[in-house]
C-alpha cells in the first residue's frame, strides 16, 4: 500500500507545466479542489489546478477515511447522499482499488441521555431515505464484538463507507487529469490577479495565469490568501492527532466511535485510531480576530480544545507569518509546501492503551504510524460554499470543519457548477459566506 500520509518526500506526480490561460483555475489540491477540477474538466472547461506541495498532502491524506452521512448537519445531508453515490461511481473510474467499502458507521452511547440525542437525529436521515437506525445494548455488542465495556446502545448507518484517503484523493486527481485537467504540484498561488474589480487570473510562483473564474479550496490556508486580498474569513485550524495500529484480527469492518476514541479498519488490516472530541488550537492573529464568531462553539464545548499561545513557525496563523507579501516575492504558501504538524505523542500513546483496554482479547500490537493534520474549521462547524461577492469571479469552498473528505466529491461538483454559473441543485443558504458579516447568530452543526 502507498505510504501515508502524503508528504514532501512523495514524488511529484503532476508536474504541469503551467499554462498561461484557463477557463477556471482551482487553488488547492485536496479533495475539494481535486473534485472541483474533475467536474470542471468533465464539463469541458479548460481547468488548471494549483497545489503548492503535493495533491492530498494536507488534510486530505491525513483524515480517518470515514465517508459518513451519519451525524451530519441537516443541510449537508442531501449533499452527502449525493457524495455517497459519487464515491461509488468514481471508484469504478479510478482503475485502482481506493479501499472504498460499505462498512457502516456506528456511534456508541454510554448513557440513555446520549442515546436520546442519537434517536433525535435518526429521523433527519430517515426522511431522506438514509438507513440510519438506533440499536439496543445487545445488538450493539453483537455488531462490535469483544468490547470490555457495555454500551446503552448505538446509532448506526449501514450505507456509510470508508476509503483509504491517501490512495483515493490522488486517484481522483488521476481521473481529473485523464479528463483534461492540468494539475501543477509545487506551484503556489501567491495572489489573485484582480483587474477592473474582478478576478482576472492568479499570480503563481511559476508566473501569471489568466482566467475569468477561480475556485479557492485552500483548506487551512484559505483565510491567509483571502486576508491578503482584504477579505476576512473567520477560520481556524486545529491540530488533530491520529495513530495507526499494525494489522490485527477483525473486530468490525466499519467506523466506530464513543466519546473517547474513534477507530476504523483499514484495507491493510490495521486500525486507524483517534481521540474523540480533542483538538489543539495554536493562537494567532486570525484566531484572535475570529474569536467573537467562535464564542458560541467555545461555550457549547468548553473543554474540547486545548490552547497554545503560538503556532510553530510557518503555520498559516503563526504570529510571524506575513499577512501581505510582494507580488513577485516568495509567499508563505511556498515556504510551507506541506503543513505536516507533529502528532501529540502522549495522546497517540494514550489511544493505544484505550483501544487495548476496550478490546482486551486483541493480541499485543504496535502503533505503526502516528501523524497529525490541521483541520480547517468554521465558527458554526459547516463550510463556506459560495461565490465571493467582494471579488467577482471567485468561488470559495473551504472550512469543511473536519468532515470534508466524505462529502468532498459532491462539494466539488457543486463548486464546479457555481463557477460555471449553473444551478448547483442544492440549497446552499446555510453555507453562504455572508453569514459571518450580516449579524446572523452562529447556529452550530451537530457535534454527533
Ligand atoms: C485528522 C483528521 C481526521 C479527519 N477525518 C475525517 C473523516 O473521517 N471523514 C471526513 O469526511 N473528513 C475528515 N476530516 C476532514 C477532511 O480531511 C477535510 O475536511 C478535507 O480533507 C478538506 O479538504 P480540502 O480540500 O478542503 O483541504 P486540504 O485537504 O487541506 O487541501 C487544501 C490544499 O490546498 C493547498 N493550498 C493551500 N493554499 C494554497 C495556495 N496558495 N496555492 C496552492 N495550493 C494551496 C494545500 O497545500 C492543500 O493541499 C479529517 C481531517 C483530519 C485532519
What atom in ligand 1 is closest to the CA of residue 339? 47
Residue to probe by mutation, ligand 1, list 404, 415, 431, most atoms within 8 Å of CB: 404
Question: From the CB of 166, is ligand 1 less than 6 Å away?
Answer: no
Q: What does the pLDDT read at residue 2?
A: 59
262 ligand 1 Cβ < 6 A:
no
Confidence check: pLDDT of 3 > 90: no
Task: Name every residue whose Cβ is closer than 8 Å to that of residue 99 and which is 6 or more positions away in sequence.
Answer: 65, 162, 163, 164, 167, 168, 266, 267
Q: Residue 329 pLDDT more than 70?
A: yes
Cell numbers for 58, please give them. 494536507
Count of C-beta atoms within a 10 Å radius of residue 179: 17
Per-residue pLDDT for 278 more than 90?
A: no
Cα of 361 vs centre of ligand 1, distance in Å, is 35
The C-alpha atoms of residue 185 and residue 427 are separated, in whole angstroms, by 33
pLDDT at 259 over 70: yes
CB 273 less than 6 A from any atom of ligand 1: no
Mean pLDDT, residues 325-352: 94
Other C-beta atoms within 10 Å of 24: how many? Answer: 26
Task: Please state which of the ranges 264-268, 272-276, 277-281, 349-353 shows the lowest mean pLDDT.
Answer: 277-281
Who contacts 146 (Cβ-Cβ below 8 Å, separation ≥6)?
251, 359, 360, 361, 362
CA of 91 to the centre of ligand 1 (A): 20
How does residue 93 score in pLDDT terms, banded at 50, 70 and 90?
very high
d(Cα 252, Cα 158) in Å, to the nearest integer? Answer: 12
Average pLDDT, the chain: 96
Per-residue pLDDT tens over the stretch 172-226: 999 999 999 999 999 999 999 999 999 999 999 999 999 999 999 999 999 999 9
242 lines ligand 1 (CB under 6 A): yes
Is this prediction's pTM over 0.95?
Answer: yes
Q: Is the C-beta atom of 31 inside 6 A of ligand 1?
A: yes
Least confident piece of the model among 109-113, 217-221, 277-281: 277-281
Ligand 1 near 399 CB (within 6 A): no
Average pLDDT over every residue of 383-395: 98
Q: Which of 384, 62, 406, 78 is nearest to 226 (CA)?
A: 384
Minimum CA distance residue for ligand 1 atom 41: 189
Burial of 110 (0-12, 13-18, 19+ CB in 10 A): middle
99 touches ligand 1 (CB under 6 Å): no
- Among protein residues, the one with the nearest Cα to ligand 1's atom 34 is 28
Interval 358-368 mean pLDDT: 96
Distance of CA 152 from the midpoint of ligand 1 (Å):
34
Lowest mean pLDDT, pick from 8-22, 99-113, 300-314: 300-314
pLDDT, position 356? 97
Q: What's the pLDDT at 171? A: 98
72 pocket-lining for ligand 1 (C-beta < 6 Å): no
224-245: average pLDDT = 96
For residues 126 and 194, what is the distance between their CA atoms, to the nearest angstrom? 46
How many angstroms separate the alpha carbon of residue 15 from the centre of ligand 1?
A: 21
State the closest ligand 1 atom to the C-alpha of 264, by its place in the atom list counted from 1. 8
**254 close to ligand 1 (CB < 6 Angstrom):** no
Residue 1 pLDDT exceeds 60: no
What confidence score (pLDDT) does residue 304 get? 77
Residue 302 — very low, low, confident or very high, per pLDDT cuts 50/70/90? Answer: confident
Amino acid at each position: 500500500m502507498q505510504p501515508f500520509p502524503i508528504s514532501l518526500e512523495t514524488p511529484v506526480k503532476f508536474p504541469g507545466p503551467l499554462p498561461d490561460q484557463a477557463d477556471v483555475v482551482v487553488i488547492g489540491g485536496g479533495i475539494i479542489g481535486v473534485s472541483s477540477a474533475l467536474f470542471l474538466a468533465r464539463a469541458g472547461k479548460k481547468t488548471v489546478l494549483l497545489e503548492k506541495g503535493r495533491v492530498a498532502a494536507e488534510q486530505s491524506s491525513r483524515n480517518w477515511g470515514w465517508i459518513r452521512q451519519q451525524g451530519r448537519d441537516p443541510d449537508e445531508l442531501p449533499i452527502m447522499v449525493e457524495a455517497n453515490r459519487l464515491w461509488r461511481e468514481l471508484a469504478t473510474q479510478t482503475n485502482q482499488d481506493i479501499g472504498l467499502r460499505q462498512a457502516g458507521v456506528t456511534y456508541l452511547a454510554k448513557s440513555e441521555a446520549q442515546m436520546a440525542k442519537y434517536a433525535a437525529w435518526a429521523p433527519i436521515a430517515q426522511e431522506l431515505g438514509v438507513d440510519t437506525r438506533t440499536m439496543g445494548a445487545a445488538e450493539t455488542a453483537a455488531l462490535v464484538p469483544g468490547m470490555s465495556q457495555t454500551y446503552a446502545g448505538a446509532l448506526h448507518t449501514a450505507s456509510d463507507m470508508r476509503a483509504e484517503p491517501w490512495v483515493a484523493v490522488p486517484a481522483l486527481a488521476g481521473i481529473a487529469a485523464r479528463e483534461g485537467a492540468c494539475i501543477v504540484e509545487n506551484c503556489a498561488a501567491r495572489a489573485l490577479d484582480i483587474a477592473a474589480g474582478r478576478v482576472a487570473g492568479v499570480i503563481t510562483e511559476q508566473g501569471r495565469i489568466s482566467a475569468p473564474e477561480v475556485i479557492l479550496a485552500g483548506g487551512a490556508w484559505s483565510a491567509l490568501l483571502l486576508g491578503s486580498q482584504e477579505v476576512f474569513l473567520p477560520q481556524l485550524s486545529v491540530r488533530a492527532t491520529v495513530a495507526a495500529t499494525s494489522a490485527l484480527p477483525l473486530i468490525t469492518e466499519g467506523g466506530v466511535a464513543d466519546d473517547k476514541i474513534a477507530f476504523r479498519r483499514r484495507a491493510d488490516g490495521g486500525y486507524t485510531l483517534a481521540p474523540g472530541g480533542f483538538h489543539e488550537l495554536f493562537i494567532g492573529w486570525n484566531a484572535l480576530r475570529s474569536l467573537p464568531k467562535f464564542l458560541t462553539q467555545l461555550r457549547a464545548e468548553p473543554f474540547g480544545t486545548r490552547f497554545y499561545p503560538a503556532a510553530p513557525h510557518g503555520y498559516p496563523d503563526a504570529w510571524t507569518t506575513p499577512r501581505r507579501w510582494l507580488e513577485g516575492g516568495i509567499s508563505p504558501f511556498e515556504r510551507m509546501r506541506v503543513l505536516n504538524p507533529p502528532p501529540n505523542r502522549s495522546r497517540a500513546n494514550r489511544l493505544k492503551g484505550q483501544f487495548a483496554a476496550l478490546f482486551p482479547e486483541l493480541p499485543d500490537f504496535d502503533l505503526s504510524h502516528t501523524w497529525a493534520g490541521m483541520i480547517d474549521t468554521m465558527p458554526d462547524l459547516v463550510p463556506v460554499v459560495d461565490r465571493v461577492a467582494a471579488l467577482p469571479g471567485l468561488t470559495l469552498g473551504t472550512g469543511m470543519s473536519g468532515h470534508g473528505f466524505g462529502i468532498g466529491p459532491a462539494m466539488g461538483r457543486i463548486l464546479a457548477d457555481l463557477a460555471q454559473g449553473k444551478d448547483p441543485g442544492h440549497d446552499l443558504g446555510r453555507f453562504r459566506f455572508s453569514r459571518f458579516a450580516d449579524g446572523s447568530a452562529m447556529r452550530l452543526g451537530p457535534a454527533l
